[in-house]
Amino acid sequence: MRVGIVGVSGYTGLELIKLILTHPTFKLTYLATTTGDNMVESIHPALQGVITMAIDKASPDDIKVHCDVVFLALPHKASMGFAKKLWESDVKVIDLSADYRLLQETYEKHYCLHEDAPNAHKGIYGLIEYYRDDIKSAKLVASPGCYPTATLLGILPFIPYIDTNAPLFIDAKSGVSGAGKNCTETTHFVSINDNIFAYNPLKHRHAPEIAEKIADIHKVDINVHFVPHLVPMTRGELVSVYATLKSDIDPLEVLKNHYANEPFVRIREKPVDTKSVSGTHFCDIFAAREGNALFVSSSIDNLLRGASSQALAAANIMCGLDESAGLPKLAYVP
Ligand SMILES: NC(=O)c1ccc[n+]([C@@H]2O[C@H](COP(=O)([O-])OP(=O)(O)OC[C@H]3O[C@@H](n4cnc5c(N)ncnc54)[C@H](OP(=O)(O)O)[C@@H]3O)[C@@H](O)[C@H]2O)c1
């Protein structure tokens, strides 16, 4: 099957290239950026000796000609500019941005005016373990944000057992690649080296995404209090969730039963770390309780399970392939 990636000069675009190159069925036929006119091995020296392929200036018409499946590894707003021109085509679309993840009113409150309003609600949320059946027939999958992926996989099994009137506190840490390839004052080496700090505390855009999906899956509204931190790592995300139990449960048993048939969710007997999932599609989860205090901790590779490998898993399902085809399992350890 012919696969295109728009946004290949970015971090998630590069991860997608690597994943597709080793995929048993997908074949790269189209690579694009804003300006094109380059070779992929020139913008990503790590690919020299691996692949030689031209990069085009991104165009919806070219996507229709060259692709059965296209990944939009683009910033929000840029993505919908392409996606809105692909609804009438046969191309299956996986959008890594936030453009089709949320209800239109939630999106417009936290991002910008939606430029594809008639289709804003048509994206299927790509959290594989919870939306698998809907993804099978999806035209466009809205791949989840990295923080919502780790948070939701961790807390969703516990929603029936927690006091949903109490606030849900989420403390998250991410490596700097989560912010994309463009350097800012916050992601500058001098700011982040040997340092750690919170950013957008209680105001981050991923809080409404987490709340909306909990409401969609469990039909309950919860106050989500989300504080992300940047840590001096390249990749990796660790999420700690604090909730109040209303039931007498064994948290690890709940997790083990809930994810018994999910090969890419690993339940850990000890608190999780980021290195064990780095370079993989795994999400590792640990949970513990003391009285009615519940602690859930999950870890993912933000660029893979938080973005590109989750998008690939969605593409596999959309195309009727083995869901696990091409998904990486071997961690960058040590
Ligand atoms: N990084 C993560 O961990 C992560 C996790 C989950 C989701 N996401 C989401 O995935 C998307 C991509 O993230 P990223 O980290 O890969 O970002 P990035 O490193 O900043 O890369 C963005 C890419 O988009 C291209 N681009 C921007 N505007 C374009 C346009 N109008 N037409 C064509 N190409 C355009 C850029 O190309 P040029 O070089 O031409 O500018 C670049 O290749 C974002 O929506 C992000 O929120 C990222």
Contacts from 89-93 at CB under 8 Å and sequence distance 24+?
89/63, 89/64, 91/63, 91/64, 91/67, 92/68, 92/138, 92/139, 92/140, 92/315, 92/318, 92/319, 93/69, 93/139, 93/140, 93/141
The rounded Å distance from CA 181 to ligand 1 centre is 8
Determine the 3-state secondary structure of 104 from DSSP.
helix
Give the residue, by CA position, lying nearest to ligand 1 atom 22: 10
Task: Name every residue whose Cβ is closer than 8 Å to that of residue 132 and which is 6 or more positions away in sequence.
Answer: 317, 323
**pLDDT one-digit tens code per residue, 116-139:** 999 999 999 999 999 999 999 999
Q: Measured from the CB, is residue 12 less than 6 Å from ligand 1?
A: yes
pLDDT of residue 138: 98
Q: Measured from the CB, is residue 142 less than 6 Å from ligand 1?
A: no
Residue 54's CB: how many other CB atoms inside 10 A? Answer: 12
Q: Measured from the CB, is residue 182 less than 6 Å from ligand 1?
A: yes
Q: Measured from the CB, is residue 96 less than 6 Å from ligand 1?
A: yes
Average pLDDT over residues 196-217: 97
Q: What predicted TM-score, i.e. pTM, was given to this entire model?
A: 0.97
Residue 104: which pLDDT band, with cuts at 50, 70 and 90? very high
Average pLDDT, the chain: 97
pLDDT of residue 6: 98
Mutate-to-test residue for ligand 1 from 96, 149, 301, 309, highest number of ligand atoms within 8 A of CB:
96
2-122 carries CATH number 3.90.1010.10: no
Residues labelled catalytic: 146
State the residue for tokens 């417009």: 108
pLDDT of residue 317: 98
In the chain, list all ranges with CATH 3.30.360.10.
147-302
Residue 178's CB: how many other CB atoms inside 10 A? Answer: 25
Residue 237 CA: nearest ligand 1 atom is 3
Query: In this prediction, what percent of the chain has a pLDDT beyond 70?
Result: 100
In the chain, list all ranges with CATH 3.40.50.720.
2-122
**pLDDT one-digit tens code per residue, 239-281:** 999 999 999 999 999 999 999 999 999 999 999 999 999 999 9
**pLDDT one-digit tens code per residue, 7-39:** 999 999 999 999 999 999 999 999 999 999 999
pLDDT of residue 215: 98
pLDDT of residue 64: 98
Residue 114: which pLDDT band, with cuts at 50, 70 and 90? very high
pLDDT of residue 259: 98
Residue 96 CA: nearest ligand 1 atom is 10
pLDDT of residue 122: 97
Task: Report, at the CATH architecture level, how domain 147-302 is classified.
Answer: 2-Layer Sandwich (3.30)
Residue 43 CA: nearest ligand 1 atom is 39
pLDDT of residue 225: 97
Give the residue, by CA position, lying nearest to ligand 1 atom 40: 34
Q: Measured from the CB, is residue 83 less than 6 Å from ligand 1?
A: no
pLDDT of residue 81: 97
**pLDDT one-digit tens code per residue, 61-71:** 999 999 999 99
Q: Measured from the CB, is residue 73 less than 6 Å from ligand 1?
A: yes
pLDDT of residue 216: 98
The rounded Å distance from CA 33 to ligand 1 centre is 9
Rounding to the nearest 10 degrees, give the CA dihedral for residues 278, 6, 83, 177: 30
